[in-house]
């Protein structure tokens, strides 16, 4: 197979997502409710569906997260997912009696898997085709259950495994998924997890311009949302 033939076989996220049948997705998810009762297993079935449906997609997310502005990254990859598929997943997430802590645990597991792929790519590996499914599943959970991220912010802030400038783009992306239209949640995330990075970097004189710019982009993004001011803050400082 020559280079031109290989290029023709590249599948985009939008092309693969367009083939997802919302009814088939719901059947799969409802079956998970019948067959397994542990929230962790149910959410694994949910993630597995997107991983399989989007397994043939080339998704060079590390380069994308490094080069693209936050205003573009916010809707990646959900902008390529049909509304009917998105709504089906949202409706299912409201069905099982899953507690907030179970969704929070899912967020950490998803982040862990993404970081494993990040380390592999930094070591010279190819972009992982399977990760787009994880990003889709995680983004939908964060948008429907934003408090799942709020409860793990202390872990992301204090655990060394989640720290580092190379992990910051993913952390900011997660915060952006959980805070659309919610000024208070966005500001809480920024003040507790991102703003301290600016202070620490300044004191250590190890400021990385790209990271500091990303921190500023995040607060600019949430402050630019007109609906954000309509929400009442639910968290204290």
Please give the Cα distance from 224 to 237 (Å, whole number): 22
SS3 11: strand
How many Cα atoms within 13 Å fall on the side-chain side of residue 121?
Answer: 21
Q: What is the pLDDT of residue 224?
A: 85
Q: Between 39-53 and 83-93, two packed helices, what is the crossing angle to 10 degrees?
A: 170
Q: How far is CA 100 from CA 96, 107, 152, 203, in A?
A: 12, 11, 11, 37
Tens place of pLDDT per residue across the chain (237 aa): 444 444 445 689 999 999 999 999 999 999 999 999 899 999 999 999 999 999 888 888 888 888 899 999 999 999 999 999 999 999 999 987 789 999 999 999 999 999 999 888 877 666 555 589 999 999 999 999 999 999 999 999 999 999 988 999 999 999 999 998 678 889 999 999 998 887 655 555 445 777 889 999 999 998 887 654 444 344 433
Cα-Cα-Cα-Cα dihedral sign, residues 211, 213, 214, 216: positive
Q: What is the pLDDT of residue 210?
A: 79
How many Cα atoms within 13 Å fall on the side-chain side of residue 95?
Answer: 17
The CA R_g of the chain, rounded to the nearest whole Å, is 18
Please give the Cα distance from 154 to 89 (Å, whole number): 28
Domain ranges of the chain: 3-230
In sequence order, which residues have a C-beta less than 8 Å from that of residue 26 and are 6 or more positions away? 88, 91, 92
Q: What is the pLDDT of residue 233?
A: 45
Please give the Cα distance from 153 to 188 (Å, whole number): 10
Please give the Cα distance from 44 to 83 (Å, whole number): 22
Q: What is the pLDDT of residue 7?
A: 45
Q: Are 185 and 143 in contact (CB under 8 A)?
A: no
DSSP 96-158: S---HHHHHHHHHHHHHHHHHHHHHHHTTPPPPSTHHHHHHHHHHHHHH-THHHHTTHHHHHH
Closest C-alpha among 169, 197, 210, 199 to residue 65: 169
Closest C-alpha among 66, 68, 50 to residue 113: 50
SS3 38: coil
Please give the Cα distance from 97 to 104 (Å, whole number): 14
Please give the Cα distance from 56 to 37 (Å, whole number): 30
Q: What is the pLDDT of residue 232?
A: 39
Q: Say if pTM beats, i.e. exceeds, 0.85.
A: yes
């Amino acid at each position: 197979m020559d280079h031109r033939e290989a290029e023709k076989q590249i599948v985009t996220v939008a092309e693969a997502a367009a083939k997802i049948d919302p009814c088939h997705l719901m059947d799969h998810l409802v079956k998970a409710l019948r067959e397994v009762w542990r929230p962790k297993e149910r959410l694994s079935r949910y993630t597995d569906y997107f991983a399989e449906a989007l397994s043939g997609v080339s998704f060079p997310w590390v380069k994308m997260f490094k080069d693209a502005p936050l205003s573009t990254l916010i809707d990646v990859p959900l902008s390529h997912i049909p509304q009917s598929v998105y709504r089906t997943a949202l409706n299912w997430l409201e069905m099982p009696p899953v507690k907030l802590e179970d969704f929070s645990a899912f967020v950490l597991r998803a982040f862990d898997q993404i970081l494993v792929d990040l380390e592999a790519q930094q070591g010279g590996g190819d972009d992982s085709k399977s990760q787009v499914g994880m990003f889709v599943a995680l983004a939908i959970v964060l948008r429907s259950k934003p408090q799942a991220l709020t409860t793990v912010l202390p872990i992301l802030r204090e655990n060394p495994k989640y720290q580092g400038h190379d992990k910051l783009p993913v952390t900011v992306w997660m915060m952006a998924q959980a805070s659309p239209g919610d000024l208070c949640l966005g500001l809480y995330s920024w003040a507790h997890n991102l703003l301290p990075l600016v202070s620490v970097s300044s004191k250590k004189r190890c400021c990385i311009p790209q990271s500091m710019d990303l921190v500023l982009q995040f607060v600019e993004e949430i402050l630019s949302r007109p609906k954000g001011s309509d929400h009442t803050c639910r968290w204290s400082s």
